[in-house]
Every structure is written in C-alpha cells, then in structure tokens.
Structure 1
Amino acid sequence: MLQSFRAKLSALFSSITLDQAMLPDYNMNQQDLSSRYGPVVECVTQFLNKADKQNSRAAAIMHLGAAEEFMRHFQVLGFMGSSSAATTSETIITLLHRVISSVQRRIVMGDITPLFLQKLQTFYQNRICFPADMRQLKNSLTIRPWQDVLLVSVLKGQNVLGFRKDKGKKDVLLETISVVLLRTELLQLQSRYRELCRYLRVVLTDNVTLYQHIQDLIPFFKCKLGEFGSALESLFPPVNPPASRFTPAIFLLFLRIFETATAPRLTVSQLEQLCFSEASWEPIKDAVPLKRSELVKFALKAQRCSLSVYSDPECWASLLKVVCSPHGSPTALPIPSQQFLYESRDAVIDQLNQQGYNIQISRCFLRTYPDQALLLLVTGALGVRILQGSFSPALPVLNAYKDNLWAFQWLCDGMTSSQDRLHSFLKEITQKPSNTPGNQLVVDFK
C-alpha cells in the first residue's frame, strides 16, 4: 500500500514541477501552483485517511512513510520560490502536523513497544527532511514510553518531584502539551485517577495556559476516587485556587457531586467540558455524600473565590434548596424559637466575617437547631449579597425557600437598614412571577 502511494505521489508531483519548468517565463507563472498542488494534497489526505483505519503499528508506519515523501517537496518548492510556493508550503506543514498528531496518539494510546517506538523515532529524525525553520519539530516524536523509569516512578507515587539523577545527569519529566493531553485522556479511560493526579502535579510542559486547564481538573479526578475531603483541599489551596475559575455551571456541578456522591461519566481536558448536559451520571464507588454543613462551607468558599458564582441567583437558589430540604425531606423545617432567631443575627455575622477560605461553622451555633442554623447562615450570606447590588432574577430564590417563609422573613428583616435595596429586591420578585416555572409562592410584603 505504501509503495503504490509513493509511486502515485511521485508521478503527481513530477507532472506539476515539469509542467511549470517548461513554461517560458518560469517565475511569472507561479500563481496557479497552489491549485496545481491540490491533487497532491488530495492524494496524501486519502492515504492518511486509510492509515487512520489501521492498527497502531501499521498506522504509524504509513503516516511516517507518507511524511517522508511529501516533505521532500520543500526542496523543489524552495527552488521555485514564489508567494504561491509559500502558500503551498503551509499546506505541507499542515499535513506534517496531522502526521505528528496521529503518530503521537498511536504511541501514547496504542500498544507500541519501546523497541518499535525507538525505530519510529529514528526513522522520523533521520529519514524526513526538515527545512531549517522547522527543525524544532524534529523531536516531536521523542516521547517517553509508559515503561520509562521516571514516568513509572511518578505514576506509582514513588517520585513526587518529577525528576531524577541518571548517571550524573538530571532527568526531568518534561513533555509537550499534546502528549500530556493524550496521557490524561488514556488514564481517564482506564479510570486510573490517582496516577493521573500524581502525573499532573509534577509534569512540566510547553503550554502553561492549557496545562492550567488540565490541572484544574485534579479536584474532579479526586472526586472520582471518592476522596471528597482531598478534592475540597485541592479546590482551595492558598495560591491560585481552581475554584477562582469557577463558572456558575461548574459550581453547580461540584455541588451536585458533593451532595449526591455521583459524577458525570466523561473524558475531559478542561472544567467547562464537565458541564456537558447529556452526560450520564453514575454513583462514585465508596463515596459518601458530604454533610450539609460541609456543603455550605464549600459553597461559601466558592463564592469568595468566584465573583460569577457569588453574583449568580441560580447558584444561591441551588444552595438554598440544599439547606431547606435536609436529607431530601419535602416538609418545611420547624420554626425555631424567637430567641434563637434573634441571637442568630450576631452568630451569622461572626461566621461570615471569617477571612480567607478557611471558613469554620461554630459547633455552638449548630447545637440547638442545626438544620435551621445552616439555613440562616446561607440566608445571612444572601442578605449581604443582595445589599451589595442588583440581584436578578430573584424569584427562584424565593421559591427555593419552599414553605420555610419564616427564614425568608428573617432575610427581609435583616435588610431593613437599606430600604432602597430591600424594596428593589421585593419589587423584582413581585413583578416577574413568570420567571420561574412550577408552583409559585405568593407572599404579601408589607
């Protein structure tokens, strides 16, 4: 198959260059070179498409064999020198990147042995002609096999630094972002989340931005292990917390994971991909849902990290639903004593005045009415948010209280210091009854 491709490609390219060379004014007839090169590109593309359907070894051989042939065209195009030739060169570079990407995938995802990998790397570096300005691509297939000593020690947790001394030389776990993405994909498919977290903590790569996106997934991978405590710690480190990049959708996803001990079944490379609505959710093995007090602490921390979460009414409504329905109970919480409601004002303020992400909920506050105390803590935080500026739509928040209107009244009583904001909030609720589907709560505000 490769031999027939070589013969066909050589004939096509020769017909183009010979026809051009026979023209009277060689340099004046380069404008149609790109269109003349079209059949060559089509021939290569069709061959690469066939290669993609083969097993890992055959596909790698076919891709590199094709690259060996079409990369020789650079020499002729360079001699022909024109703007059209430059455009054609860009097309060849695109084909080369496709080859590199495909072979990298076979190396990381396939069953290629270290010995065969070495042969591929040698062929790629010695048999393919790279123009001077493309020499940086010559090491694109220099990829560690999964059996590599340093890589294995990192995955097993024996090496937490990402480097080792080998015969006096420092061996560093440095991989291109494309390889990091491939390893991340495969380890997810194999449910090797613990090894994946170890790898992502120490590997160095050439694209800081994309690497940050992948590292932000470490808390999710820890959730998949059922280690919610460790996941929470990795969401809120002192420096550059992943939670600071939460969108409302990502916050709601983690809230659901922590509340239900279930997770979406997805293979992802950044947090936003977790919010794919059609993903199926499944129970996390050995995972236990977080206590509601821990859910509240998580939510309050996330709000401090992410302004978009703090500002979003849907995030507030979802959190209120958690504390309004302990253990999934459809009934309202019993109304606590008036003394407790009164004393809770100062207690809630004390809880909310804690600095940083290390939020702790006082045991004394939870002692008498634990469920009601959590509801008032969230309600107090909501009151602070409403007093700070526009809050719309507001009706979902009212509906989230269900039959716990005593807590909603407590919210309104706490905002009397700012009559303008309170009036604006209540007006938002009463003027937009159509914003929220389902049963509507009707309250007479006086």
Structure 2
Amino acid sequence: MGPSKREEKEQSIILISDDEAESTLGNSVLLVDPLEKSALEEEKSEEVVDEECELMVTFCKQAKVMPHARYDCTIHPFERMECDTCSPLGKNADICNQCYCYICDKLASECQNWTTPSLCHCNAHNKSKFWKDQRDFALAGVLVMFNLDLTDIDADLRHGGSLLIKFIQELSVEYNKYLVGERMPPTQHECFCLPKLPPGQCNICRSRNMEIVYKSWQNLGHTDSLKLAVPCLLQRITTQLQRMLVLCDFPKNLYEKFVNFFQSISLPCHCFGFSNSLNVVPWDHVLLTTVLKGQNVTGQRTQKGRKVFLWETLPVIEARVEKLVDKKNYKEVVRYLRAVKCNDTKGLRDLRDKIPFYLCKTGDFLDAAHSLLFPVNSLACCTACRITPFQFEVYLKMFRTGSVPTGKDMLEPGPWITVGSPLKDGVLVKQALKLLYNNVSLYRNPKCWSSLIMILGSSNFLEKSGHLHPLSLKEPPLDFQKGVLAASGGLLEELKSKINVSLPPAILSPHLHHEACLILAVQAVQQMLFCDLPYLTSFLEIALAFGNNFWALRLLLDHLSYEEHVLHGTVNLILRDLNRQKATMLKLWQNLGPQYVGEFLCLFLTCRHKKMQSIGLFTLNIITENLHMCPWAKHLCNFFHNAGLRHLPLGTAAHHEVSKFINIFEKL
C-alpha cells in the first residue's frame, strides 16, 4: 500500500554531492524540502533522474537533522568573519538541538564560551585560519606547537601532552624559586652498582656528584650558571630523544615533524651544537641498510664525489644495538658495530667488545675466537685485553660445547642451547692459550688456568643448566707424553709471539687429542709457575680442576720438582688454601666420594719429594680431625688397604700418619 498524501508532503530527498564547493550550504549534504515545488511533485513520477548528477531517486523519506557544526546549520543562518570574537555576529548565537561548537567539539548548548566576549565560539567556522588554529589548540593542547595534524594525535600523544603541560608547570615553579635564590636540597641517590664500576662510569653514582656541581653553580649567578646548566639539560634531553627515534616505530610524518620542531627551537649560542643532534639516520637509510645486510663492510660510500661515513653518536649506537639484540639479529649487530664510527671511542670500544659473544650466538665460534684476539681497527687493542676471568671461562665453555646462554648477555643466568659445532680440541687450546698470553691479569689468575684445565678435561656435551660433564681420560703411553712435551716448548713460545701458529703432529693425534691438549696445558701451567709464581694467589683450585685425571696432575707436580723454589712456593700455596678452606674441602670431598679422596691422597703421599708429601699429610689430618663430617672415611681406609699404601716406602712421617689413620677404623 503506497504512502498517503500527508506522508508524501513530509518526505524529503537527500542528494550527496562529490564537490563540497558546489554545495550552497558549504557542506557535502543537500536537503530537498518536499514543501517546495519540485519536479518530483509536478511530474508525479515514482522515479526522478537528475541528468546532470546522473542520480536516480528511488526512495524518499523525511529528512533527519544530523549533528553538525553551527556554520552548517540549515535552520539558523550564519555569518562568516575571519576572527571576530567581540560579540556574536547576526544570529550566530542561535542554535538548534544538533548544533556543535567548532572549537570545543561538543554541543553548542554545553559550550561555556559560546557568547563570551573576546572568545565567542559561536562565530567560529572552518574557512578561517584564526578559528582553525583555535580549534587545533583546543583539541591538541600543547601538542599544537609540534605542528601536528589532528589525525597524528592518538591516545598516547594526548597523554604525553598532558605530562608535558604538567612538567612545564612544575618547571616554572622551580625556576621561580631559583630566581629568588631559594636553595633546593639535591635528591639523594643510593648506589646499587654491582659489580662496582670505575669512577665516572656509573650513572647512579654520577648523580651523587651532581650535588657538588649544584653547589658550585649556586655561586656563579643566574647567567653564568645557566650557561653550564642548559647544555647539561639539553644533553640529557637529546640523549633520550635520540634513543626514542631509534627504538620507537614512529610514522614517518610524525618523525619528520618531531625533528623539524626541535630544529626550529631558538637555542643560545653556546648550545648551537645541539641543533642537529636529532639528525638520526633512519632505519631505511641506504648506507645503514647496506651495512646491516653485509653489502658494505666499511661503513662508507662515495656520494657526489665525497666520502660519506656511517657516523653516529654513542646513544644512537647503543639504541640500535639494543633493538637489534632484542630482535635476535646478531649478524646485523656485528656488521653494524664493525662499520659504524663514533667520536666516543671508549664507549664504542666497550660495545665492540661484545662482538665475539654475538658471533657465538650465531654459531660462528671460530670467528668469535679470532675476534677476541684481533681488534676491529689497527688503532685499538683487542678484546682479549679486557675480558674478565669469568668471561674467559664462559667463552671456553661455548667454544668447547657449541652452546650459548639464551640471555642477551653472557653473564646472565639461564638455560643454554646448542647453536653450532664446537671448536676442535687443538684449535680450542691454541686460542685459549693465546687469550691468556694477551692478558696479563688473566695469565696470573689461577681461576683462568683452572677453567682451561677443567674444560679440556670435559666432554663437549653441555646440559641446559650449563653444567659440563668431566671426562676420565686414560693415561697415555709415556712415549706419547714425552713426544707432546717435547713439541710443547716451541709451540708455546710461538703462541706468545706469532699470530698464525700450526699445531705439531703430536698434538693433532686423532686418537689421543684430548690427552695431548691436556698435556699441552700442563706444560703451559708449568711455564707460568716458573715465571710468575710470586703473582699467584692460589694453586689448589688448579689442582682440583684436573678432576679424575690424576696422571696429568702428577705430570705437572713431577716437573715442578726440577726447580726447588717453585716446588716450595707451590706447596706452600696449596697448604695455605687447605688451611683456609677446610669446611669447603670437607663438603667437596663429601660430594666427590672416597675414591677421589683416596686417589688425591695417594698422589701426594707417594711423591718422591718430601715437601710434596706434606700436602697429603695435611689433608689426612683434616679428615682425621673431622671424622664426624666424613662418614665415607671408613671406605677411604679400605682404599688404602687395596692400594697397599701401608706397605709402600713413604717415609717415616707419611708411614706413621697412614698407619695411625688405618688403626682408627680397625679398632671400631
């Protein structure tokens, strides 16, 4: 059933125009009032075709007034002026229930400044630059200074704008206090530095020193103190901004507006250096991308006849490395650090010192070993000069097992995973010794030598916890031992002085390569004791590192007897360690069991040199005095019986102590 005549009179047509300028109302909606005479009413046709617009009207209904800006209202006329704010123009103050304030972006009936003199939001419209700026400031707030479009501003930017306003207000208060000479107590910072860093390298500790600087600035006067304070503040600000530009994925348009705004700031003459501090190379820059992809290893190219270098500030480099590491793009990190240049040579050097670790994360352990020994450029020293004993152990563990810790840093605790093939034993021992020879502090550290011996005496299988599995190597023939020792002397001297050193055939034995490398390490320890014994702080941990390979430890002790002062010095070190660490040794022996303790005691008690026997006697006395902590001691007595220790010519003192120990258990 068709509509009634009354319903037909109440109907209207909405024509949508593609061109806003052609609209008589200045908007994109044209309302056709059915009360006016029209071609539709005269022709009484069910369909109306507009030939100019190529529009066919197939349906009509009563027009519904939608929310609109006041200047688009079809009920109340509107007068346009560029920037009249004194009072309402014409009937601009009149509104319908759907009129919105152009400035406040809410219903005109709720606008508090609709007719307020000097504001008069009722006169606002979109054809005026003045009113557009007013609207932008009302919607964007303080963010308008960044020349952002409203489409650029999301919830995060609005929140940032609110924080900026709050900061400006708080800063104004503090600055006024400063101008009147009011002293503010400096903020106290507790130091949580672990490990302790050298002076000037800890940001937290550096903040404490700011109190002294602050007090000195107070005596300079407003102008002079500002010349010191402003650059310091700008340095902090630009550093954070540089990191944001690298770490945050800003849209390109927002990125450019942000940088342009900073460059438009009028800085004092003593701060001109900061004007271009935000000229950070974007991630899609040609030179940077070719470096990251490995297409450019030098970080330089020729552009219009000039050499262009990949040169960045340290905060930018740190941020790029951080982002690449987070994405586990370790190959790109290595390429970037090798190519980039920086005016902070020490800071860049510290970052480059992690290149070997990043190479290990990629599974390229051979390149990692070489990177420890060879600097990135000829003007710098190698990373090996600066690694710590703990880092030395971790590197050897990675080289030995082909596994790496899963964390971002090699010192972080956590599980280990296999990422590549481990180094061959001969290459491992050669690289390890070169590391020791390149770093005196490592060379004289017993922890490093114990790490080397322990890892050479372990399998290449590593548990996820990072725990190594020790090997019990069978003692090789004496002729083989002598052959390796004979070749070791010249090899060790070459490792100290030459870059490329070939291993002799004796050490490359396919069947006894583990044993050969361990003998080579024994010879290296012996040389170290002969030359640097006075610098050594301990020796017991080196002896314990041999594990069940007592034949290798005996080989070392036998060679020490050739130098009387070295022998005495070594024995005194072990006795001192045993005396200081009695409780620790008792717990260790409890874990290792009577078989290990028996082998350890027999090794020293059967030494031909009486001074060396004193170590076995002292160990036996510790066990005798703490039998309540050694439930395994009776099994040790059986070990002595089976070894025939009581009947060996040990000497008067040794024979007496062994017999005394055995008699204790025979009486039980």
What TM-score results when the alignment is normalised by the length of structure 1?
0.77
Q: Residues 130-145 of structure 1 correspond to what in structure 2 (within 5 A)?
A: 130-145=267-282
| Aligned partners of 2:314 and 2:344 also within 8 Å | yes
What is the aligned counterpart of 2:254 among 99, 112, 116?
A: 116
What is the aligned counterpart of 2:416 among 279, 282, 285?
A: 282
Instruction: Show the counterpart of 2:181.
Output: 32
> Match of 1:414, SS?
helix
Q: 1:6 to 1:129 in 2, by over 3 A?
A: farther
> Match of 1:164, SS?
strand
Instruction: Show the counterpart of 2:506.
Output: 364
How much does 1:34 deviate? 5.1
347-356 vs 148-157, greater mean Cα deviation = 347-356
Instruction: Show the counterpart of 2:560.
Output: 415
Q: Residues 107-256 of structure 1 correspond to what in structure 2 (within 5 A)?
A: 107-126=245-264, 128-237=265-374, 239=378, 240-256=381-397
Instruction: Give 2:480's aligned amino acid.
Output: F
1-structure distance, mates of 2:167, 2:486:
83
What is the aligned counterpart of 1:322 among 413, 436, 455?
A: 455
Given the alignment of the two structures, is residue 309 of structure 1 paired with residue 445 of structure 2, yes or no? Answer: no
What is the aligned counterpart of 1:344 among 458, 462, 484?
A: 484
Instruction: Give 1:219's aligned amino acid.
Output: P
231-240 vs 253-262, greater mean Cα deviation = 231-240
Instruction: Show the counterpart of 1:432.
Output: 577
2-structure distance, mates of 1:108, 1:173:
15
| Aligned partners of 1:223 and 1:231 also within 8 Å | yes
Given the alignment of the two structures, is residue 261 of structure 1 paired with residue 402 of structure 2, yes or no? Answer: yes
1-structure distance, mates of 2:422, 2:296:
32
Given the alignment of the two structures, is residue 295 of structure 1 paired with residue 436 of structure 2, yes or no? Answer: no
Q: 1:404 to 1:267 in 2, by over 3 A?
A: closer
Q: 1:123 to 1:34 in 2, by over 3 A?
A: farther
How much does 1:218 deviate? 1.3
Q: 1:336 to 1:187 in 2, by over 3 A?
A: same
302-311 vs 429-438, greater mean Cα deviation = 429-438
| Aligned partners of 1:304 and 1:357 also within 8 Å | no
> Match of 2:301, SS?
strand
| Aligned partners of 1:34 and 1:84 also within 8 Å | no
2-structure distance, mates of 1:341, 1:379:
11
Instruction: Show the counterpart of 1:106.
Output: 244
How much identity, in percent, do the aligned residues show?
Answer: 28
How many residue pairs match? The answer is 385
Instruction: Show the counterpart of 1:405.
Output: 550
How much does 1:94 deviate? 4.5
Instruction: Give 1:382's aligned amino acid.
Output: V
138-147 vs 163-172, greater mean Cα deviation = 163-172
Q: 1:16 to 1:159 in 2, by over 3 A?
A: closer
| Aligned partners of 1:32 and 1:84 also within 8 Å | no
How much does 1:357 deviate? 3.8
2-structure distance, mates of 1:8, 1:406:
72
2-structure distance, mates of 1:380, 1:15:
69
2-structure distance, mates of 1:196, 1:118:
26
Give the root-mean-square deviation of aligned CA atoms.
3.0
Q: 1:415 to 1:31 in 2, by over 3 A?
A: farther
| Aligned partners of 2:397 and 2:455 also within 8 Å | no
Instruction: Give 1:32's aligned amino acid.
Output: G
* Structure 2 unaligned blocks of 5 or more: 1-140, 144-161, 188-218, 461-467, 590-596, 610-668
2-structure distance, mates of 1:192, 1:16:
45
Q: 1:236 to 1:331 in 2, by over 3 A?
A: closer
2-structure distance, mates of 1:237, 1:144:
29
| Aligned partners of 1:262 and 1:281 also within 8 Å | no
1-structure distance, mates of 2:325, 2:171:
44
How much does 1:157 deviate? 1.6
Instruction: Show the counterpart of 2:525.
Output: 382
How much does 1:292 deviate? 2.5
How much does 1:200 deviate? 1.2
2-structure distance, mates of 1:12, 1:377:
67
* Structure 1 unaligned blocks of 5 or more: 21-29, 42-80, 269-273
| Aligned partners of 1:34 and 1:87 also within 8 Å | no
2-structure distance, mates of 1:248, 1:357:
22
Q: 1:329 to 1:208 in 2, by over 3 A?
A: closer
| Aligned partners of 2:301 and 2:307 also within 8 Å | yes
Higher RCO, Cα 8 Å, sep 6+: 1
Q: Which has the larger radius of gyration?
A: 2
Q: 1:374 to 1:96 in 2, by over 3 A?
A: same
What is the aligned counterpart of 1:373 among 516, 532, 547?
A: 516
